[in-house]
């Protein structure tokens, strides 16, 4: 389960998707900076269509990476979930087999009717304890995975909102640049205005990404809570097993 948790932690807590968006915004800002020439906004306006094409292309490439990275991480987590579930099923089948083989040996040791009844009671007690432990473990795992799914949805929505905000800001900046370049009264400041709009978009996304990170800040606490529940169930089972075994040994030792 540790491996599964590490995979989820990577998906939920890493900033790779957000970082791709921020990298895109920073790249756009840097590209806008490099367009400043000695003749200033005259060059910027004459190259505006080229600038837009390059920024739009960069946006598409980054969004493709975001989509690809998201799919890789989610598929990896799903695979690990499935592997863990299958491993748990196989382990339980083996434990059941071993337990029933142990029951057979105990039944062979029981000579009197009292001993045979005690063995049957022991088996019933252990079977009930096993079922209870498994139900608790399964419930904890299901609850944790449900929480993880909600966290993923929240983070996905948060990243998508960042992307939408940037796309809107970029579109607004491009439209504004066209208008400023077409107006003699504002052509002299078209480049500076364009750069300022991209800088504002960068700052806004930097601030908004904090909210995206906070969405997943409790994943470790959720994992710890799940582990606590499972540990408590195992501890309770061991106590029951110990008490039942001691009682059984005492009865079987009687002649």
Domain boundary assignment for the chain: 2-252
Per-residue pLDDT tens over the stretch 29-69:
555 554 444 445 568 888 888 888 888 888 888 888 888 88
| Predicted local distance difference test score (pLDDT) of residue 132 | 97
**pLDDT at 138 exceeding the cut of 80:** yes
Dist CA 192 CA 185 (whole Å) = 14
Q: What is the DSSP letter of 183?
A: -
Dist CA 245 CA 118 (whole Å) = 11
Dist CA 9 CA 109 (whole Å) = 50
- Cα-Cα-Cα-Cα torsion 113, 114, 115, 119, nearest 10 degrees, comes to 100
**What does the pLDDT average to over 122-140?**
97
Query: What is the percent of the chain with per-residue pLDDT over 70, rounded to a whole number?
Result: 80
- Mention every residue, 6+ apart, whose C-beta is less than 8 A from residue 232: 136
Identify the band that residue 148 occupies on the pLDDT scale cut at 50, 70 and 90.
confident
DSSP string, 45-91: HHTHHHHHHHHHHHHHHHHHHHHHHHHHHHHHHHHHHHHHHHHHHHH
């Amino acid at each position: 389960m540790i491996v599964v948790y590490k995979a989820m932690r990577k998906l939920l807590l890493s900033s790779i998707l957000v970082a791709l968006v921020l990298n895109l915004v920073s790249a756009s800002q840097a590209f806008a900076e490099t367009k400043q020439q000695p003749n200033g906004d005259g060059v910027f306006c004459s190259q505006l269509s080229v600038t837009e094409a390059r920024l739009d292309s960069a946006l598409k490439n980054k969004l493709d990476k975001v989509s690809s990275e998201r799919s890789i991480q989610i598929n990896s987590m799903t695979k690990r979930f499935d592997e863990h579930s299958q491993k748990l099923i196989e382990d339980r089948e083996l434990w059941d087999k071993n337990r029933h083989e142990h029951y057979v040996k105990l039944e062979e040791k029981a000579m009197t009717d009292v001993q045979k009844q005690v063995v049957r009671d022991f088996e019933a007690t252990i079977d009930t304890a096993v079922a209870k432990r498994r139900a608790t473990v399964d419930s904890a795992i299901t609850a944790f995975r449900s929480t993880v799914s909600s966290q993923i949805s929240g983070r996905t929505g948060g990243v998508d909102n960042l992307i939408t905000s940037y796309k809107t800001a970029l579109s607004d900046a491009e439209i504004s640049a066209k208008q400023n370049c077409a107006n003699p009264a504002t052509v002299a400041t078209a480049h500076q205005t364009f750069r300022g709009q991209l800088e504002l978009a960068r700052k806004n996304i930097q601030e908004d990404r904090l909210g995206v990170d906070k969405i997943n800040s409790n994943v470790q606490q959720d994992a710890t809570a799940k582990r606590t529940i499972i540990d408590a169930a195992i501890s309770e089972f061991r106590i029951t097993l110990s008490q039942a075994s001691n009682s059984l040994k005492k009865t079987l030792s009687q002649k």
